[in-house]
Homo-oligomer: A and B are copies of this chain.
Amino acid sequence: MPDPQTIHDLETPSVLIDLDVMERNIATMQARCDALGLQFRPHIKTHKLPEIAHMQLDAGAVGIACQKVSEAEVFADAGITDIQLPYNIVGEKKTARLAQLAKRARVTVTVDSKATVDGLAKAMQQAGATLNVMVEIVSMERRTGSTTPEDVLELAQHIIAQNNLNFVGVMIYPSIAAVRPRLQAVLKLLADNDIPVQMVSGGGLGSILEADQLPELTELRIGTYVFNDWGSVDKGWANLEDCAMRVRVTVVSANEKDRVILDSGSKTLSSDNRNGLYGYIEEYPQARIHRLNEEHAYTDFSACEGMPQVGDILHIIPAHTCVVTNLHNQIYGVRGETIEKIWPVAARGLVW
């Protein structure tokens, strides 16, 4: 089958990336970080595509962040040499692979427990590798992270005591302004104990808006900005014109205005939603995608002037872009209606 040349050659559902918008997003975020004096480290979980990572690096990023060793391997294979995994890498098989990776790239991970440090130290020693390690500080999200400044200090000292680990700093997610007191308490305690901190790594799309209130940061990790999504817009973190991803879908049933079905269910858009809505339909801004089955989007056009007919093509800005890429074997980079890029999603499905 010949490669599709324009979006009209595509079946649905297909994921389109507006290259003009994406390129602008890449340039704009880099400029915002530059203006703040922050190193920028894009998180590749949003696209999982080495080619886009290289565009981000070419624009000035210092390296990438990713979440899994398997993803990191894909990007190292693509020539990327500065990789951060803001994650507790746990388990002998995984730390052994991480050690191999650390021999061919500058690799930095985060930890929030002695058990994780010990696992990393053992693997690095066995492989003769060296790893950079940050201690994670828990935020109000209460996800991963050391609970108190004293815990952070103890972990930093434990890292420093290992031959094959370099303590490089601290990490927090999301790095909103409200975390400043706990960040300052940690940094003061480390300074009081003569422990140098090279890196204070923040992250999260919303955190760029408050980064000027966190002068302690040295770098930011952000992923979603490259495509943006309906969730970002609804939170006020982006505008509709900043959204680069559209899911091109077909109306497959339209018997009642409040009961229209699109061919884009949870295996296309994922079940992630924003206030109960799974996306924004460009052609019908008032339409509500209010429920998904695996291959069906239940859509209500009651609030719209008209309604689409069976066979109509619509374009959805999804609620959460990062999980959409992960569901598709390939995505399409477009300029206008022309397909410029057919990108296999290189690092998807690598659940390890």
Asked if B261 and A91 sit within 8 Å, CB to CB, the answer is no
- Known A142-B298, A326-B327, A329-B349; further 20 A-B contacts with Cβ < 8 A: A11-B91, A12-B352, A13-B352, A88-B252, A90-B252, A90-B263, A90-B310, A91-B311, A112-B255, A113-B253, A113-B254, A142-B259, A151-B255, A266-B271, A266-B272, A270-B271, A271-B323, A294-B323, A294-B326, A329-B350
Q: Does A283 contact B (CB under 8 A)?
A: no
Residues in chain B near residue A197, CB distance under 8 A: none
A86 to chain B, nearest CB (A): 10
* Contact of A130 with B by CB under 8 A: no
**Do B349 and A328 have beta carbons less than 8 Å apart?**
yes
Check if A250 sits within 8 Å of B91, measured CB to CB. Answer: yes
CB-nearest residue of chain B to A48: B267
Interface residues of chain A: helix, strand, loop or mixed (majority):
loop
A144 within 8 A of B: yes
- A322 to B295 CA separation, bound complex (whole angstroms): 12
Contact A88 B294 (CB under 8 A): no
* A232 on the B face (CB < 8 A): no
Query: Scoring A residues 19 to 53 as 1 if CB is less than 8 Å from chain B, else 0, what string do you get?
Result: 00000000000000000000000000100000000
Q: How far is the CB of A118 from chain B (nearest CB, A)?
A: 10
| A293 CB within 8 Å of chain B | yes
**From A69, which residue of chain B is reached at the shortest CB distance?**
B11
Question: Nearest chain-B residue to A45 (Cβ)?
Answer: B294
Bound CA–CA A112/B253 (angstroms): 7
Q: Are A310 and B115 in contact (CB under 8 A)?
A: yes
The B-contacting residues of A in range 216-270, CB under 8 angstroms, are: 250-256, 259, 261, 263, 266-268, 270
Is the Cβ of A323 less than 8 Å from the Cβ of B267?
yes
A326 to B350, CA, bound (A): 12
* Chain B residues within an 8 Å CB radius of A145: 253, 255
Q: What are 18 A-to-B residue pairs whose CB atoms are below 8 Å?
A: A11-B91, A11-B93, A11-B352, A68-B295, A88-B253, A90-B252, A90-B263, A90-B310, A116-B252, A119-B311, A147-B255, A266-B272, A271-B272, A294-B326, A327-B349, A329-B350, A329-B351, A348-B349
A322 and B294 contact, Cβ closer than 8 Å, known pairs A88-B310, A310-B113: yes
CB-based nearest B residue for A251 = B90
Q: In the complex, what distance in Å separates the CA atom of A169 from the CA atom of B205?
A: 52
Contact yes or no, B88 A267, CB < 8 A: no
Q: Mark A85-125, 1 if CB is under 8 A from B, else 0.
A: 00110110110000000000000000011011001000000
A5 located at the interface, meaning its Cβ lies under 8 Å from any Cβ of chain B in the complex: no
